[in-house]
Structure 1
Amino acid sequence: MAELYRFGSVSKTPSLGVTTEPTKRQPYGSAGRSPHMSVEVHRPIGKVFAWYADDHVRNHPRWDPDIQLEATSEAPIAVGTIIRRRNVRSGTPVDGTMEVVEFERDRTFAVMIREGGYEMPGRASFESVDPTTTSVTIAAEVPGSVNEALITDRMQRSAKNIRALMEDEL
């Protein structure tokens, strides 16, 4: 059986500075840390992508209960879509936004998260392993000041939840 959850190495590099204005987008691995994980879902890629990306506002809080999302428009999610976001991971609510910066059906869904003075890219990639199995790889650029153990724990929880929810509902 293939490995279901794989976690990438986490490297420590200079932390992002806290500013009152969002910082410029940083390429993955250029600042902070770049945790990533992959999960295999035993469902076809089209259904997996639609559940994850098209229904992101509805489903993200279900796999990660520390995040609350609200659509700012009734239009389908596409590049340029802005989603309101509240992160309660630290115990103190932090409001921000997610802007969809990449949307390629059945391949990639990427957002720029802006919250707490930080600008953090997040990206999901989708690959068909076979006609009934999809590999989903999720990566994020997080500030160096974020607790590494907490992020790893939350990514593991999200991987398990994503797989369980998708395989139950699709």
Structure 2
Amino acid sequence: MIKAQASTLIRRPPAPVFEFVADNFHRNYPRWSPEVKQFQVLSEGAIRTGWRARQVRVDVGRRTEATFRVSGYEPGRRLSFEGISRPFRVDYRFEPVHHHTRVTFTFELPRLELMWRPFERLIRATVQDSAERLVQNVKRLAEAELPAPDLRSPSGDALD
């Protein structure tokens, strides 16, 4: 199994960060993951367990297509996906830290095709680098686009 995990602290409150990442996934995912060249929502309505989408990605020069579905949706806490056409799992977790949000991203590839096994070490490093870049892109976009929390008390003193 190939597994990568990366985490970042986004200096914005949990509710708008969750909305930015999870509830607006269809709009924002291609923005924080530039490897996504095509993205198509296959389900009607809001994101929820069972919601499906299709993507075309180009990672390190290799083009892949995948259909995936939401396998877990816990408002404010978690958004998970699993591949339908190819085996993979993705998990976004949201944890409040004072007035901010820790976002942890996990990617799992349960098995590696036989032809790629000689390159497993390189693939692990590439997947980890991609995970770290992804969370930094989410942080950069969220902090640029979401309003900063007001950290002053009613008397005007700083709270944080």
Task: Output the TM-score relative to the length of structure 1.
Answer: 0.74
Segment of structure 1 superposing worse, 85-94 or 41-50: 85-94
**Which residue among 105, 121, 129 is the counterpart of 1:138?**
105
* Long gaps (5+) in structure 2: 147-160
Seq. identity, %? 29
| Structure with higher helix content | 2
Runs of 4+ in 1 over 6 A off after TM superposition: none
One-letter code aligned to 1:129 = V
Residue 113 of structure 1 deviates from its aligned partner by 2.0
**Which residue among 5, 11, 16 is the counterpart of 1:42?**
11
* Long gaps (5+) in structure 1: 1-31
Any idea what SS the aligned residue of 1:79 has? coil
Q: Distance in 1 between matches of 2:29 and 2:83?
A: 14
Q: Distance in 2 between matches of 1:156 and 1:92?
A: 19
- CA RMSD in angstroms comes to 1.5
Residue 91 of structure 1 deviates from its aligned partner by 2.1
Q: Which has the larger radius of gyration?
A: 2
Counterparts of residues 17-166 of structure 1 (less than 5 Å): 32-67=1-36, 68-115=38-85, 118-130=86-98, 132-142=99-109, 143-144=111-112, 145=117, 147-166=123-142
Q: Distance in 2 between matches of 1:125 and 1:57?
A: 17
Q: Distance in 2 between matches of 1:53 and 1:128?
A: 15
Count, aligned residues: 136
